[in-house]
């Protein structure tokens, strides 16, 4: 059970018009999502790792058996309310559940996008440290990634709508970060950039795609204005402005994810016949002049682990070069000159404290 530390409300602070609710309920995907959240075993939510360019999640039915009516969802054990909100009326509970399901449909695609972005960044940077993953992004996308990383870590239960449905909905007004994310998710659901790699989908796919959900914005605005904690309507413009920036950052993050996915999924380049050969083996990136062969590709800021691996590789190449030089000198250079060639003679300069 989640504890959010504010006064309990017995009714939802959001008021969505009846026609908007009917429009949502006309979506097969949204109805399937509701039954999935209610714990109906005959319905499942398919949530594979989505393409980096998409914020929509397909929802599919696993059984043709007729579902239970939506009016009975409030009595399902997976929709259990806390001790306080269990005293609400049946109509109030259904409203809490509807608003919880709308929040889930908005927030979970963003959570899935962040999870995919983290996986791609980890693969691109060759590191598992969460503090280094932001280095794979830049500009607005990096700011959005850091903001999502902090918020999703601190509010994991709320982002996944775990616990009492009424507590989850009421917590939306607890901080400006919650409000910003809901606004940004609603803007993303109506933005064309949400699916940049997908054109007109087939009818079967569109039936399994969650619809745009702009209905929450007017209800959220009225709730913020009427909430005494937020002190009137002036704060709404400020929060909306920051939410718009977050939405733009997430859109940039989607584009960055597409580029990263192309990078990490591209096959490893092989040496061409006309490429420069190493001194002792073709695969050694070292030429006779002592220069390292420049490797082409997308340049990313190296993490600490990557820098350490590069340093170890350079040390290995240098060791192989010295071994090759020693073998060559032992076979070709006269014994009396071998020490000078290998820097073992008396002419070698000694190290000092002032001149290492």
d(CA 48, CA 94): 29
pLDDT digit string (tens) for the chain, length 356 residues? 444 445 567 889 999 999 989 988 888 888 888 888 887 433 333 333 333 344 544 443 333 333 444 444 444 555 788 888 888 889 999 999 999 999 999 999 999 999 999 999 999 888 888 888 999 998 999 999 999 999 999 999 999 999 999 999 999 999 999 999 999 999 998 876 544 444 455 555 556 688 888 888 999 999 999 888 887 778 899 999 999 999 999 999 999 999 888 888 765 544 444 444 444 444 444 444 444 445 555 566 667 777 777 788 888 888 888 888 777 767 766 666 666 655 555 545 554 545 44
d(CA 263, CA 266): 5
User: 316: exposed, middle or buried (C-beta count within 10 Å: 0-12, 13-18, 19+)?
Assistant: exposed
d(CA 233, CA 236): 6
d(CA 52, CA 195): 9
**Which letter does DSSP use for residue 349 in this model?**
P
Among candidates 311, 320, 329, 310, which has minimal Cα distance to 286? Answer: 320
d(CA 341, CA 256): 52
Beta strand 43-44 with 60-61 is antiparallel
The model's pTM is 0.64
Q: Give residue for tokens 């990313």.
A: 300
Q: Give residue for tokens 């979506």.
A: 27
Q: Give residue for tokens 């601190």.
A: 154
């Amino acid at each position: 059970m989640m504890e959010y530390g504010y006064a309990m409300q017995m009714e939802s602070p959001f008021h969505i018009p009846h026609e908007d609710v009917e429009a949502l309920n006309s979506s097969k995907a949204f109805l399937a999502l509701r039954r999935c959240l209610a714990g109906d075993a005959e319905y499942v939510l398919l949530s594979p790792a989505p393409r980096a360019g998409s914020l929509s999640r397909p929802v599919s039915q696993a059984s043709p058996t007729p579902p239970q009516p939506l009016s009975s969802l409030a009595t399902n054990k997976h929709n259990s309310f806390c001790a306080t909100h269990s005293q609400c009326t049946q109509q109030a509970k259904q409203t809490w559940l509807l608003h919880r399901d709308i929040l889930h449909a908005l927030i979970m695609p963003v959570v899935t996008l962040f999870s995919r972005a983290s996986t791609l960044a980890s693969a691109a940077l060759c590191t598992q440290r969460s503090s280094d993953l932001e280095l794979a992004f830049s500009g607005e996308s990096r700011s959005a990634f850091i903001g999502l990383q902090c918020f999703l870590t601190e509010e994991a239960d709320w982002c996944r709508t775990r616990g009492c449905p009424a507590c989850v909905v009421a917590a939306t007004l607890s901080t400006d970060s919650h409000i910003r994310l809901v606004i940004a998710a609603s803007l993303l659901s109506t933005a064309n950039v949400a699916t940049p790699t997908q054109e007109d989908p087939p009818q079967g796919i569109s039936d399994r795609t969650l619809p745009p959900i702009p209905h929450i914005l007017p209800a959220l605005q009225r709730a913020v204005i009427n909430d005494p904690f937020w002190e009137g309507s002036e704060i709404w413009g400020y929060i909306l402005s920051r939410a718009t920036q977050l939405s733009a950052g997430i859109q940039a993050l989607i584009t960055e994810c597409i580029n990263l996915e192309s990078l990490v999924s591209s096959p490893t380049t092989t040496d061409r016949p006309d490429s420069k050969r190493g001194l002792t083996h073709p695969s050694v990136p070292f030429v006779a002049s002592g220069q390292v062969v420049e490797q082409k590709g997308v340049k990313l800021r190296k993490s600490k682990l990557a820098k350490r691996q590069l340093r170890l590789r350079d040390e290995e190449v240098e060791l192989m070069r010295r071994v090759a030089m020693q073998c060559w000198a032992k076979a070709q250079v006269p014994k009396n000159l071998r020490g000078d060639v290998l820097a073992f003679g008396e002419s070698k300069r000694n190290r000092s404290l002032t001149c290492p």
